[in-house]
């Protein structure tokens, strides 16, 4: 039996998702680390099921300016992956990769945005690759999109995508830190309900 709503997931299924987040996130951290040639730590991922407004406030004030890389999933799983970077985190990346001290967040040069997009792309792809090979699901990713915008506006995109059929959204979050510095970036995986059923079937959490 599949689930119809996110809140129907049992503890076993949530554990499974947390484990997937951990494996995917670990892979992503390794990729990030080798690209930046720095130590990258990842906090234990969390699985959160929450209302829209909670989701908006989860990562910070909705008006906070952040950079985000956005990828849509299709194939056997549908949903969205977001890699959200604070100003500090993006500065740290640009410093490591391009030797720039501090860029104007609202007037990034083309080279800056392509570096950040590529970093996001690699981090997201390595996350999804780990997850899809572990569960044997085929996932295709769209061309990554980059924006610098208010956090709330960015979060409203997956919320609107999931919102047609649900009053809650589910996300698997992972936080990265570079060189132990408290520079936050967040990796969010937001699958739709049907994709969760696919995952749970493949991993034998539910019969099918």
Partner 1 sequence: MIKKISVGIADMKITRQEGVLITYALGSCIGISFYDPMIKLGALLHIMLPQKQGTDTNVFKFADSGIPETLRKLQAFGAMKSRMVCKIAGGAKMFEMKGPGGLGNIGERNAQMVKMALMKEGIRVMGEDTGANYARTMLLDVGNGKVSIRSAGKPEKFL
Yes or no: say if 163 and 50 are a contact pair by the CB < 8 Å rule: no
Q: Is 193 exposed, middle or buried (0-12, 13-18, 19+ CB in 10 A)?
A: buried
If binding is defined by CB under 8 A, does position 157 make contact with partner 1? yes
Nearest by Cα to 194 from 50, 79, 46: 79
Residue 101 vs 164, nearer CB to partner 1: 164
Choose between 133 and 145: whose C-beta lies nearer to partner 1: 145
Q: Which residues contact 207 (CB under 8 A, 6 or more apart)?
A: 1, 201
Confirm or reject binding of residue 189 to partner 1 (CB under 8 A): no
Cβ at position 149, least distance to partner 1 in Å:
5
Residue 153 interacting with partner 1 (CB under 8 A)? yes
Sorted by sequence, the CB contacts under 8 Å of residue 79 that are 6+ apart come out as 72, 73, 158, 161, 162, 189, 190, 191, 192, 195
Q: Report the residue number, 73 or 119, with the smaller CB distance to partner 1.
A: 73
- Measured over the CA atoms of residue 94, residue 98, residue 101 and residue 102, the dihedral's sign is negative
Indicate which single residue of 13, 47, 73, 119 sits in contact with partner 1 (rule: CB under 8 A). 73
Segment lying near partner 1 (by CB under 8 A), choices 14-22, 23-31, 33-41, 64-72: 64-72
- Sites of contact with partner 1 (CB under 8 A): 52-53, 56, 61-63, 65, 70, 72-74, 78, 106, 142-143, 145, 147-157, 159-161, 163-165, 167
């Amino acid at each position: 039996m599949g689930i119809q709503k996110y809140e129907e997931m049992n503890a076993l299924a949530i554990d499974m998702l947390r484990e997937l987040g951990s494996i995917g996130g670990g892979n992503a951290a390794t990729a990030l680390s080798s690209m930046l040639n720095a130590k990258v730590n990842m906090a234990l991922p969390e699985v959160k099921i929450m209302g829209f407004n909670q989701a908006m406030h989860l990562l910070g004030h909705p008006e906070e300016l952040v950079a985000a890389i956005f990828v849509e999933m299709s194939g056997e799983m549908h949903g969205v992956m977001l890699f959200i970077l604070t100003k500090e985190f993006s500065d740290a990346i640009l410093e490591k990769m391009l030797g720039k001290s501090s860029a104007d967040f609202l007037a990034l040069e083309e080279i800056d945005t392509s570096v950040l997009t590529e970093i996001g792309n690699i981090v997201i792809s390595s996350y999804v690759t780990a997850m899809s090979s572990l569960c044997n699901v085929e996932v295709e990713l769209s061309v990554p999109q980059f924006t610098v915008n208010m956090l709330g506006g960015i979060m409203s995109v997956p919320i609107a995508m999931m919102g047609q059929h649900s009053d809650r959204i589910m996300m698997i979050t992972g936080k990265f830190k570079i060189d132990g510095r408290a520079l936050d970036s967040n990796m969010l995986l937001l699958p739709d309900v049907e994709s969760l059923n696919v995952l749970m079937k493949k991993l034998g959490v539910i019969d099918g």
